[in-house]
Structure 1
């Protein structure tokens, strides 16, 4: 295993967990969601996620490939300036908010030491409407997709305790170097880019929640292309 040094100046800015609970939004509406996480001093990270943490809808969140949610701290400033509104810590429901781990620099399959645990990046996050309900910013979701500033998810390779002042260290950068930003661009904005999709699918460590839809999309495109070639 090739080891590389820590990405410069990685800092854990906020560490949050929380069970699903009711949240009011809009004109007196209410949903049960895990997005309103609270800052904690420490928690034990298992392969299923942090003890004391949870999600409201298991169809779209949670599971071993999505055990830890990460969001870059730098985006908070951009969104606050763009929308003219302060954002609370963990506004996007992330477990860890970090500096110098932007989507452009993080790759599917990268491995990090997080406190006593070891995590591996598996996919970009697919932002959902709960973010709009939480922030009351109706255009934020669209901008997250447009920019690719979605954050990302990780599986747990080694369980262990994580603390609010824990260090994050890059253990191994994935050799194929398919960045989260590249994957987001293909997934959200280039649905017919066969070469791009294949590049993502070639990363064995990709989460199944991304692999399945990409494989279906690719299969459909290849079949359509084959039919058109025969017809011509």
Structure 2
């Protein structure tokens, strides 16, 4: 894919981290690192995340493809209305709270410089039950998915230091890339869109976990509906 050099700059409002802690959910104990709090000063961003941050479920969270969870503060007003409370930075378990970088405008594969680090969009976030546990609303993950305001993940291409007040500067964007919103549509809404799946799988920056899920789905669709390929 060809690269397109861009000049987008987005404010980083907060860098948020937290250890995995025991929490109660429906009467049972569960460990989660969803309780993120803002960092004072600089934080070191490595290939698998920010120093001081932790995930309890390393199968579905963390790792190189999901080193940094990103969420835009633009979404907060809606969720404050839904939840009936004021939300502080890190409310959705995100590591970076930004002002901008919305799902319809951000592409899988976009590369940003922030602080002294370089990061790349790898996949949308898939909201899970831990949001329900944090905010006491069982349907919250489904609502987040339905709105498309999911946020997304960065992989780290170059480790470095980051802090609130830094700017996320778009270094390059692949002209044929797929937006986070389009990736969400293919994954969650139009699940039988074979052409959409194929286009998404053509983005080499897509995370390994999404590649595996979509390849498996594509194989099932192709085997059950061979006529769609004619």
TM-score grouping bracket, smaller chain normalisation? over 0.9
- In the TM superposition, what are the counterparts of 1:1-232 in structure 2 within 5 Å? 2-7=4-9, 10-27=10-27, 29-40=28-39, 41-226=41-226
Q: What's the CA shift for 1:26?
A: 4.7
Distance in 2 (CA, whole Å) between partners of 1:2 and 1:182 is 19
User: Contact conserved, 2:14 with 2:163, CA < 8 A, in 1?
Assistant: no
Deviates more, 1:42-51 or 1:208-217: 42-51
Q: Which runs of 4+ in 1 moved over 3 A?
A: 24-27
Distance in 2 (CA, whole Å) between partners of 1:178 and 1:137 is 31
Q: What's the CA shift for 1:25?
A: 4.3
Against the structure 1 CA distance between its residues 87 and 30, is the aligned structure 2 distance closer, same or farther, given a 3 Å change threshold? farther
Distance in 1 (CA, whole Å) between partners of 2:177 and 2:206 is 12
User: Contact conserved, 1:91 with 1:131, CA < 8 A, in 2?
Assistant: no
User: Contact conserved, 1:69 with 1:96, CA < 8 A, in 2?
Assistant: yes
SS of the residue corresponding to residue 217 of structure 1 reads helix
Q: What's the CA shift for 1:184?
A: 0.4
Deviates more, 1:91-100 or 1:75-84: 75-84
Q: Deviations over 1:84-131 (max 9, x none)?
A: 232232121110011111001100000001111000000001111001
Unaligned runs of 5+ in 1: none
User: Contact conserved, 2:122 with 2:153, CA < 8 A, in 1?
Assistant: yes
User: Contact conserved, 2:4 with 2:174, CA < 8 A, in 1?
Assistant: no
SS of the residue corresponding to residue 94 of structure 2 reads coil
SS of the residue corresponding to residue 173 of structure 1 reads strand
Q: Deviations over 1:15-52 (max 9, x none)?
A: 1012211223455x432111111211221111111121
Length-normalised TM-score, structure 1: 0.92
Q: What's the CA shift for 1:57?
A: 0.2
